[in-house]
Amino acid sequence: MRALAERAAGIAGGIYLVLLAAFMLWPVAIVTLVSFSPTPVFDVPTEGASLQWYRKLADLDELWPAVRLSAEVGAIASVGALMLGSLCALGLRRGRLYCPACILAFLMSPLMLPGIVLGVAMLITFRATGFLDAYTSLVLAHIVITVPYVVRVLYAALGLFDFTMIDAARTLGYSHPVALWKVLVPNLLPSFVTAGMFAFLMSVDNYALALFLGDVRTVTLPIELLKLLDRAADPTVAAIATLMVAFTAALLVVGERLIGAARLVGRSA
């Protein structure tokens, strides 16, 4: 009798887990379904699928410049963050710095601050200094929010790196920077790729900074998406959204191949 009750409780618990997980995944699933809808209403297609909304994407004149801008800003910001962040992680691991934990906490603090607050702070600062180029200010701002990811991934990776290998390379005659470049960088390449990927995804997904720092001609993908959603949209927006989900999923699969699911989960948690 008691075993039966426990079994029933176990099943009820399982149902709860599945239902709540579905509640979290539902919004993404519905967007994907709607993008294949044969009709222009936002509903789950019941009879047949259609690719018409994907074909219509080509006609959206303002979409492609936004995609391009987001990709450019994301790429430049990721490279900048990779350089600053990986050097910094190395300095934190190997240097004799005062309170490395405090410095690490400081490096993470841009992620603690609401995006809107960061956007406003940068807007008024750039305005006050007369620095008005939207493109450059976007790149500068995106480096601030991507450096934390790079530091976090590489700080963890460097903790597992065996630095006696550097000593060995030095003994064999390499100078210090060359030893790092020839031994450390190839060894940690998967971590560099992961860090860059995270940085790129975070930059492309960020709306708050572009909301304040962008202008009429500097519109990133999230802002363009918000604009499209504002005009009573058809499933074309769902098609864009589905492609974005597919792109992120593809990057995550690449990341999983590179460093393994368990570590990816452990790091981003």
Partner 1 sequence: MRSNADDAPYGVLAVPALAYLLLVFVVPVALLVVGSIVVDQRLTLANFTAYLGDSHNLRTVEATLRYAFLSAAFCLVLGYPFARLMLGLTQRAELLVFAALLLPMSLSLIVRAFGWTILLGRDGPLNHLLLGLHVVDRPIRLLFTETGLVLGTISIKLPLMILPIFLALKTIPSELHDAGAALGAGPLYRFARIELPLALPGILAGFALVFAQAAAAYVLPTLLGGARMQIMSNAIVDSFLILQQGAVGSTITVLLLAIVTAVLVLTSALASRRVHA
- Min dist. Cβ of residue 166 to partner 1 (A): 6
Distance of CA 118 to the CA centre of its chain: 17
Stretch that binds partner 1, among 45-53, 58-66, 123-131, 188-196 (CB under 8 A): 123-131
Q: Which residue has the tokens 């098609």?
A: 239
Total interface residues for partner 1 by CB under 8 A: 87
* Interface of this chain with partner 1, residues 70 to 99, rule: CB under 8 A: 84-85, 87-88, 90-97
CA proximity to 228, closest of 74, 53, 44? 53
* Interface of this chain with partner 1, residues 24 to 63, rule: CB under 8 A: 24-31, 34, 41-44
- Min dist. Cβ of residue 254 to partner 1 (A): 13
Q: Which residues contact 129 (CB under 8 A, 6 or more apart)?
A: none
* Interface of this chain with partner 1, residues 100 to 119, rule: CB under 8 A: 103, 106-107, 109-110, 112-118
21 vs 15, 17, 25, 115, 124, CA distance in Å? 10, 6, 6, 27, 41
124 forms part of the interface with partner 1 (CB under 8 A): yes
65 forms part of the interface with partner 1 (CB under 8 A): no
- Min dist. Cβ of residue 189 to partner 1 (A): 19
Nearer to partner 1, 41 or 58 (CB): 41
Looking at residue 96, the DSSP 8-state letter turns out to be -
Question: How many helices and strands, by DSSP H and E, does the chain display?
Answer: 14, 0
* Interface of this chain with partner 1, residues 199 to 238, rule: CB under 8 A: 201, 205, 207-208, 211-212, 222, 225-226, 229, 237-238
The alpha-carbon radius of gyration of the chain (Å, integer) is 23
